[in-house]
Structure 1
Amino acid sequence: MYSDPEVLPLVTPVELAVATCGERVEGTMTMLKSAVLFAQHPIKVHIFADESLHRSLSDLLEKWPDTFRRRMNASLYPITFPGGQDKEWRHLFKLCASERLFLPSLLKDTDSLIYVDTDVLFLEPVEKLWSKFAQFGPLHLAGLAPEHEDPKAGWYARFARHPFYGRAGLNSGVMLMNLSRLRAASYKTDMSPLRLHWDEVLWPLFRKYRFNITWGDQDLINIIFHFNPEFLYEFDCAWNYRPDHCMYGSACPAAEDKGVSVLHGNRGVLYDAKNPAFRAIYQALRDFPWGGDVVQDLLDPLDQALSSAENTQCGRLSAQFTQGLRRTIVGYRAGWFGRRDVFGDVSKV
Structure 2
Amino acid sequence: MLKQFNRSQVIGIPPEDLNKHTWYNSRKQHPYYGSTGVNTGVMVMNLTRLRAIDFPSIIVNLYKEWHSKIKWGEQDVINIWLHYHPEKLYFISCEWNYRNAHCRHGNVCKRAAKNGISILHGNGQQFIIPEKSPEFVAINNAFLKYLSSENPKTDIAEAVKRNLENVKRVTDCVKALRSLFRNLTLS
Fold similarity call, TM over 0.5: yes
Distance 1:224 1:238 in 2: 24
Which residue does the alignment assign to 2:77? 220
- The yes-or-no answer on 1:320 pairing with 2:177 is no
- How many angstroms apart in 2 are the aligned matches of 1:321 and 1:158? 33
Structure 1 residue 214: Cα displacement? 1.1
Q: C-alpha deviations, 1:221-259, integer Å up to 9, x for none?
A: 001111111011001000000110111221111112122
Structure 1 residue 304 and structure 2 residue 172: aligned? Answer: no
Task: Give the counterpart letter for 2:164 in structure 1.
Answer: L
Instruction: Report the CA distance shift for 1:164/1:275 in structure 2 as closer, same or farther (over 3 A).
Output: same
Deviation at 1:292, TM superposition (A): 2.2
Pair 1:252 & 2:109 matched: yes
Distance in 1 (CA, whole Å) between partners of 2:182 and 2:24 is 29
Deviation at 1:208, TM superposition (A): 1.6
2:62 to 180, 198, 205: 205
Query: Under a length normalisation based on structure 1, what TM-score does the superposition of the two structures give?
Result: 0.50
Residue 138 of structure 2 corresponds to which residue in structure 1? 280
| Contact 2:17/2:36 (<8 A) preserved | yes
Residues 161 and 181, structure 2, Cα contact 8 Å, conserved in 1: no
The structure carrying a bigger helix percent of its residues is: 2
- Tell me, yes or no, if the aligned pair for 1:146 and 1:169 is still in contact at 8 Å: yes
Other-structure match for 1:177:
45
Pick the structure with greater CA Rg.
1
Q: CA deviation at 1:322?
A: 5.3
CA distance in 2, matches of 1:254, 1:293: 26
CA distance in structure 1 between the partners assigned to 2:43 and 2:116 by the alignment:
20
Secondary structure at 1:157's aligned position in 2? helix
Judged with a 3 Å threshold, the aligned counterparts in structure 2 of structure 1 residues 293 and 271 are, in CA distance, closer, same or farther, namely: closer
Q: Deviations over 1:72-105 (max 9, x none)?
A: xxxxxxxxxxxxxxxxxxxxxxxxxxxxxxxxxx
One of 123, 129, 151 as aligned partner of 1:292: 151
Please say which of residues 166-175 and 283-292 is displaced more in the overlay: 283-292
Q: What code does the residue aligned with 1:248 have?
A: H
Q: Give the number of equivalent residue pairs.
A: 183
**One-letter amino acid matched to 1:291:** E
Tell me the alpha carbon deviations over residues 201-235 of structure 1, each in whole angstroms, 9 at most, x when there is no partner.
22321122111111111000001111111011001
Change (3 A) 1:319 1:138: same
C-alpha distance in 2 between matches for 1:204 and 1:218: 15
- Percent sequence identity over aligned pairs: 36
Check conservation: 2:98, 2:120, Cα contact below 8 A: yes
How many Å separate the matches in 2 of 1:321 and 1:221? Answer: 32
| Separation in structure 2 between the aligned mates of residue 200 and residue 292 of structure 1, nearest angstrom | 46
What one-letter code is carried by the residue in structure 2 that aligns with 1:138? R
CA contact (8 A) 2:95 2:118 kept: yes
Does residue 137 of the first structure (1) align with residue 9 of the second (2)?
no
Q: Give the drift of 1:293.
A: 5.8
Counting strand residues as a fraction of each chain, which structure ranks higher? Answer: 1
Q: Distance in 2 between matches of 1:139 and 1:213?
A: 27
Q: Could you tell me whether the CA contact under 8 Å between 2:59 and 2:78 is conserved in 1?
A: no
Superposition CA RMSD, Å: 1.6
Write the letter of the residue equivalent to 1:159: R
Letter of the 1:201 partner, please give it: I
Consecutive unaligned residues of structure 2, counting only runs of 5 or more, are none
AA aligned to 1:183 is R
Equivalent residue in structure 1 for 2:18, among 136, 143, 149: 149
Q: Residue 90 of structure 2: which of 233, 256, 270 is its match?
A: 233
Q: Per the alignment, in what secondary structure is the counterpart of residue 137 of structure 2?
A: helix
Structure-2 separation of matches of 1:135 and 1:201: 24
- 1:127-166 Cα deviation digits (max 9, x unpaired): xxxxx1111111111100000112x232111111101011
Segments of 5+ residues of structure 1 without an aligned counterpart are: 1-131, 186-196, 333-349
CA contact (8 A) 1:259 1:322 kept: no
* Runs of 4 or more consecutive aligned structure 1 residues displaced over 6 Å after TM superposition: none
